[in-house]
Amino acid sequence: MASLRYVLARSDQPLIRGARRTARRLLDAPVPAPKVIVLPIVKLWRVVQIAYYFLKRKLIAEPFLKAQCASYGPGLRCGNFVHWISGAGDIVLGEHVQVDGKSDFMFGSLLPERPMLEIGDHTYINHRCSFSVARRVTIGRHVYIAGNVRFMDSPGHPMDAAGRRAHLPPSAEQIRPIVVGDDAWIGVDCIVLPGVTIGEGAVIAAGSVVSRDVPPFTLAGGVPAKPIRELPRS
């Protein structure tokens, strides 16, 4: 089929050349768009779109998320996608939490205690975020998390080569909780590594890898993220 398309696209035969010209004319031919006809159709299409996504969110996406939470507060809202949740762990969501778009929640049962993800009141999580939880990840209140941010409280594999060859899990010492303080803002494409505490009101610049604690009300950025300047404590 591919070779036939190539021949039809490159052939110099008069009949095929004429067919190509006719096809191009048809593709380029203008289609009349009288406003009196098209605008009502566009408005109707927008109404149908709004209704479809509203019902999908209310009847599918939000119930799916709520059913898999250990607890959640009033005002929980998510986008139109069904979030990916795997493994055994507890999701605890505060009041008026918004988990927009589609995010991944992955739990690794590597320790005796059950892993937990806790997200505080009025926190916003954007599209394509990822939470890999083997012990505990705690997100404070009024936190803004931009798209494609990844949290992982475990390296996933042991640091020594012999352990990786034996397909062993990481040691308990390597699995360390993550804490994000109230009013923090984490920029797009950031990675937050095990054992990190991001202080209250801190801002993490886009694309940063946070491998050490960030003081409260501090702008940090880079790979690895380092303090850049202090922020006002309003």
Q: Which residues are catalytic?
A: 157
3-state SS assignment for residue 18: helix
* CB neighbourhood size of 104 (10 A): 14
CA dist 220 → 66, 121, 123 (Å): 34, 24, 20
Residues 6+ apart with CB under 8 A from 217: 199, 200, 201, 202, 230, 231, 232, 233
Helix 14-28 to helix 2-10 angle, to the nearest 10 degrees?
Answer: 90
Residue 185, H or E segment? strand 185-186
C-alpha triplet 109, 103, 82: angle, nearest 5°: 100
Q: Which two tokens stand for residue 89?
A: 């762990």
End-to-end CA gap in the chain: 66
> What is d(CA 61, CA 99) in angstroms, rounded to the nearest whole number?
10
Compute the CA torsion angle 122, 178, 115, 86 (nearest 10 deg). Answer: 70
